[in-house]
Amino acid sequence: MFEEHGRMRSMEQARYHLARAESELEAAQRFLDPRPSDEEEKAVVRAVTNARTCLGDALETIRARLW
């Protein structure tokens, strides 16, 4: 029972941190405005978008395991 409570608490903490990270990535994404000729900034936008997708997947996995 204690072990299960600890696991659930850890997952809740992970969910909180992932949600915060997703929010921060979303805010950062608003500042990025790639120009058609700026390949480096386009790469950064893709990386941020991919990171948000991965965070979303991780959050869904945690939600599924918690419920």
Dist. CA 20–CA 7, nearest whole Å:
20
Within a 10 A sphere around the Cβ of 48, how many other Cβ atoms?
A: 16
pLDDT of the residue at 1: 65
pTM exceeds cut of 0.75: no
Query: So where are the chain's domains?
Result: 2-66
Q: Closest Cα to residue 45, out of 61, 60, 34?
A: 34
**C-alpha radius of gyration, the chain, whole number:** 16
Q: Which residues of the chain have pLDDT under 70?
A: 1-2, 34
Tokens of 8: 């659930």
CA distance 29 to 49: 8
